[in-house]
């Protein structure tokens, strides 16, 4: 009889344990439903946002490019050394701010007009070297120190020349113009950024 009671006790305990496990599983499922609903809502919202961003990004990029192209104008003002009379302005038509764009420069770019310039910007004062490469017309290369004063000018650089033109001193900017700019050592250079409002 003692053995039978033990078996009955184990069976009863097993049934109770099984029922207890079923209750726990039901509770977990009941709690999981709201969590799953929240997860599904979050995923749906994320999908909608991704779709919205994908739709708007090209339009925003196009708008920004048009705004930057039309709104920002960069002008170089040249003030002759020792005088404020005879100031000259040049319209910047090419800005070279990255290592890659500085290496390319005017090569492959259209011929500059007498009132236009290419502007090379360096992140820190540096001694730099320029060359003509494939530029097909004569240019002036103007080296500008951190103080905005012309540190050196190489006038009438000829197409096809393999010569290297060094700044000789640390500069932060260089401008290239059509040959005959008249810019001289000691002149002051000011770079102005203006925004048009249409």
Q: 8-47: per-residue pLDDT in tens?
A: 545 555 556 555 555 555 555 556 566 667 776 776 666 6
Give the pLDDT score at 66. 44
Segment 134-159 mean pLDDT: 97
Helix (H) or strand (E) holding 121, with range, is strand 116-126
Q: Among 2.60.120.1140, 3.30.420.40, 3.90.1150.10, 3.40.50.300, what is the CATH number of 74-195? A: 2.60.120.1140
Give the pLDDT score at 7. 47
Integer CA distances (angstroms), 34 to 30, 43, 44, 46, in order: 8, 14, 15, 18
Residues 63-88: pLDDT tens digits? 454 445 555 799 999 999 987 778 99
Please choose, from the candidates 132, 134, 105, the residue with its C-alpha nearest in 3D space to the C-alpha of residue 117: 105
Give the pLDDT score at 102. 95
Q: Where are the domains of the chain?
A: 74-195
């Amino acid at each position: 009889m003692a053995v039978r009671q033990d078996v009955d006790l184990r069976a009863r305990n097993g049934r109770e344990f099984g029922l207890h496990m079923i209750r726990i599983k039901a509770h977990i499922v009941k709690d999981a439903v709201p969590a799953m609903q929240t997860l599904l809502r979050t995923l749906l919202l994320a999908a909608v946002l991704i779709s919205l961003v994908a739709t708007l990004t090209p339009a925003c990029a196009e708008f920004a490019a048009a705004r930057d192209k039309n709104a920002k104008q960069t002008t170089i003002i040249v003030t002759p050394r020792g005088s404020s009379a005879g100031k000259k302005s040049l319209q910047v038509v090419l800005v070279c701010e990255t290592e890659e764009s500085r290496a390319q420069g005017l090569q492959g770019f259209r011929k500059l007009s007498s009132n236009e310039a290419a502007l090379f910007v360096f992140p820190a004062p540096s001694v730099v070297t320029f060359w003509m490469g494939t530029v097909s017309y004569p240019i002036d290369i103007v080296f500008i120190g951190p103080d905005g004063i012309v540190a050196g000018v190489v006038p009438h650089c000829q197409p096809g020349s393999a010569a290297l033109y060094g700044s000789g001193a640390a500069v932060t900017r260089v401008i290239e113009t059509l040959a005959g700019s008249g810019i001289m050592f000691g002149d002051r250079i000011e770079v102005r950024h203006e925004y048009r409002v249409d």
